[in-house]
Amino acid sequence: MVGAAAAAIGAAAILLPNANASTDQPAAPKTLSAHSATQLAASLKADLGDNGAGWYLDSAKGHLVMNVLSEEAAKSVTAKGAVAKVVHNSMTALKAGAKTLRDSASVPGTAWSIDPKTNKIVVLADRTVTGAKMATLNKATGGMGPGMVTVKRSQGEFKRYDGGNAGSAAGGAAGANGGQAAGGAGNAAGAGGAGDAAAGGAGDAAGAGGAAGGAGDAAAGGAGDAAGGAGDGAGGAGDGGQQAAGPVGGSAIFGGNARCSLGFNVTVKGAPAFLTAGHCGNDSKTWTADQGGSQPLGTVSDSQFPKTDFALVTYDDTAAKPQSAVDLGNGSTQEITKAAEAAVGMKVQRSGSTTGLHDGTVTGLDATVNYGNGDIVNGLIQTDVCAEPGDSGGAMFSDDSAVGLTSGGSGDCTAGGETFFQPVTDALKATGAEIGAGGGGAGGAGDAGGGDAAAGGAGDAAAGGAGAGDAAAGGAGAGDAGAGDAAAGGAGAGDAGAGDAGAGAGDAGAGAQDPGAAGSGDSLN
């Protein structure tokens, strides 16, 4: 009996230290969605106070990484399921460094933001920063101390991404995404303005199987105008195979001599409207769905640029119910149900009328870019997503959440580069707008200049809705210019002027969590 009791006591002595050790082990990091990580980060940031130094998402593992200044702070972070990273630079010091750059190194062709992954200020200098410009930048960054700032070169040139020539259609979008303009057998070739883009077997209109660029030409090499400079096809197909009833995120919009992209459909006190870039709103007061101006969309009611970069355009048709969605460029759309704050490490996609759909990652927040001529924009989201002129205002999103409006950047979708976005949440707050505009789905056809648009098939005749005119569209119907009829079915052809543009089943193709500081770039429209 005594022996058994002794054995039990001995076993308890062995087990007790192990039990105590298990309770001292840090909790395993939680696997979080971007939304959940953002909520946890906000809570931890408030708890940490001055001991916090930014945060980011480890999207590969689904973990939230919090920068902290002490081991004690690290324990409180890990206890709540995040990953703690002890760093040297406080957020106060990084913000002070960013202010120094704003005050002493506002050099055109540069941009910078606080990077929580490296715990430094990262400065980007484009190819125009040479000679005296580079000397000014080096002097400012050199006086900030070791381990505070990193200077990198960008191969491109910082610029806004509005298209300076409205006649430059989204040929790049078609080529990039390989959309087929005609669902049947005809090749869109044509010459002069009278080329035929017939529907039928498996012909490609232009580029890599996408509708031709230029001024809305449906034929290769700029021949054969789809709609005489006025017709417009409906946007991409809606969820569940339905065609969008009107323009959606990424659709081309035209104002004066500018071409931009629609960001997100919204409502303001129940009235339909959409968001786009502020520098686009400054380009023109009125916007249309076609280059010729025969299909009016809306009128700018608020445009903010520079300092910030968003515009609110109110639909002229107060009864319009445009779909709250983004064009994916493959004959489908992504429904947008809410807005979300960006987070460093967040995976995002961007849709624009020049280059269609591209994806990437958020690399910095609260960046400031100087586009030259005094056009300085603050509080932007920095990404490695590519964009090109004409993509301005286009939608950046993550799943069903609206995140940003395309502003500008460096590079292109061939060589890559950096692109900056206006946060959607800030634009919504400033304008009182809400995501969505009635949730319109497939439905009626719009007329422009007498053309009829019938439902059928699922194809757009021009890339991304841009160019002088998109001939025919399936699903939702589309306004067609001139006297052409967009026939229903998989192989109908719309007549517009001298050119025929077929529409079948083919689709158009589409072709630092804490504040940082300023950058700059030269303005090229």
- Residues 6 or more apart whose CB falls under 8 angstroms from that of 12 comprise none
Peptide bond into 306 cis (omega under 30): yes
State how beta strands 401-412 and 338-339 pair: parallel
- Residue showing tokens 């700029």: 222
The residue from 392, 398, 401, 410 that is catalytic is 392
The residue from 309, 366, 470, 480 that is catalytic is 309
The kind and range of the H/E element at 382 are: strand 376-383
Distance of CA 446 to the CA centre of its chain: 28
For residue 111, which phi and psi values (nearest 5 degrees)? -150, 150
Distance of CA 324 to the CA centre of its chain: 15
Active site residue 366: no
Active site residue 447: no
Peptide bond into 17 cis (omega under 30): no
Alpha-carbon gap, residue 329 to 508, rounded angstroms:
7
User: Pick from 339, 283, 290: which is nearest to 311 by CA?
Assistant: 283
Q: 254 and 418 in contact (C-beta within 8 Å)?
A: no
Alpha-carbon gap, residue 430 to 266, rounded angstroms:
13
Active site residue 309: yes
Tokens for 135, please give them.
């000397």
The residue from 279, 294, 332, 520 that is catalytic is 279
Task: Please give the angle made by the CA atoms of 10, 15 and 16, to the nearest 5 degrees.
Answer: 100
Catalytic residues: 279, 309, 392
